[in-house]
Amino acid sequence: MSNRFLNQVIVVSGGSTGIGFSIAKALLSEGAKRVYITGRSAKSLDAAAAQLGSNAVAVVSDVSSLADLQKLKREIENRGDHLDAVFANAGIAEKNTLGETTIDDYAKTFDINVKGVFFKVQTLLPLLKDDASIVLTASIVANKGMENLSLYSASKAAVRSFARTWANDLKSRKIRVNTLSPGFTRTPIMENGLKLDDAQIAALTEYAAGAVPLGFVAHPDDIAGAALFLASHDARYVNGVELTVDGGFTQI
């Protein structure tokens, strides 16, 4: 394993499970000095930190809460840390039906997926080093019209847009901002957010075998590798892009 992130300090939101956990694990294996993982569940965060080891710092922080984001900032400041990278990965995926969607449904998705990303980055911006990297987790749905996912899709399209504008906004500091857009990935969101049962997950896996050129649903580790590339020096001339990691699903 390389040491691309040797002695770096990094924040990963949504770091207790799924893609965020895999990103945190990979960063630590590549030499990160400290990785802050955030999420809304203290139980899940504590379990993740126990697996990740002493260089992981778990902070209960809801990205949709400005008070929680300030608490995270203070935690980092109190340790005297400055940030080499931020992975704005926290998000939810829930179905909505056009004609039956409530204002609360709308607010929940956009508060977490859009407001949360915006204010997380803005809050931590003073702690980011010049030449740092920001990686935003969007989704292939930002560029697709999948049924009953209009709120989720629109929220992820907004995230992709942030990468373009922030890459320009932060050019004087040489901070790179890129978007990671995963395809079908086996994470707890399938059960907890999309409310898929075992039969539906099996059907999706079967569908992916034919529809995805590589023939399978990704493991979070498959997505984390691409995320680390975007944050690393290997991608030092990559800025403002959307890296789609979907086995070729949206490319054919």
Number of domains in the chain: 2
Tell me, yes or no, whether 13 and 67 share the same domain: yes
How would residue 101 be classed by pLDDT, with cut points 50, 70 and 90? very high
Tell me, yes or no, whether 208 and 134 share the same domain: no
What is the three-class DSSP state of 45?
Answer: helix
- Region 136-158: mean pLDDT is 96
Tell me, yes or no, whether 34 and 137 share the same domain: yes
Task: Give the model's pLDDT for residue 1.
Answer: 61
Task: Give the model's pLDDT for residue 83.
Answer: 98
Q: What is the pLDDT of residues 166-210, one digit of tens each?
A: 999 999 999 999 999 999 999 998 999 899 899 999 999 999 999
Task: Give the model's pLDDT for residue 252.
Answer: 86
Question: Is residue 161 in a domain?
Answer: yes
Tell me, yes or no, whether 192 and 103 share the same domain: no
Question: Is residue 249 in a domain?
Answer: no
DSSP letters for 134-195: EEEE--GGGG---TT-HHHHHHHHHHHHHHHHHHHHTGGGT-EEEEEEE-SB-STHHHHTS-
Question: Is residue 124 in a domain?
Answer: yes
What's the domain range around 52?
9-183+221-244
Look at the alpha carbons of 193, 198, 200, 202 in this order and tell me if their dihedral is positive or negative: positive
Tell me, yes or no, whether 60 and 153 share the same domain: yes
Tell me, yes or no, whether 99 and 134 share the same domain: yes
Tell me, yes or no, whether 38 and 96 share the same domain: yes
Q: Which is catalytic among the residues 36, 106, 152, 237? A: 152
Tell me, yes or no, whether 210 and 126 share the same domain: no
Q: What is the pLDDT of residues 79-97, one digit of tens each?
A: 999 999 999 999 999 999 9
Cα dist. 220→18, 25, 117, 183, 251 in Å? Answer: 6, 11, 20, 11, 20
Question: Is residue 199 in a domain?
Answer: yes
Tell me, yes or no, whether 16 and 49 share the same domain: yes
> Model pTM?
0.95
Q: What is the pLDDT of residues 43-83, one digit of tens each?
A: 999 999 999 999 999 999 999 999 999 999 999 999 999 99
Tell me, yes or no, whether 169 and 82 share the same domain: yes
Q: Is 152 a catalytic residue?
A: yes
Q: Mean pLDDT of all residues in the chain?
A: 96
- Region 3-19: mean pLDDT is 97
Rounded CA gap, 155 and 113, in Å?
6
Q: 5 with 30: CB under 8 angstroms? A: yes
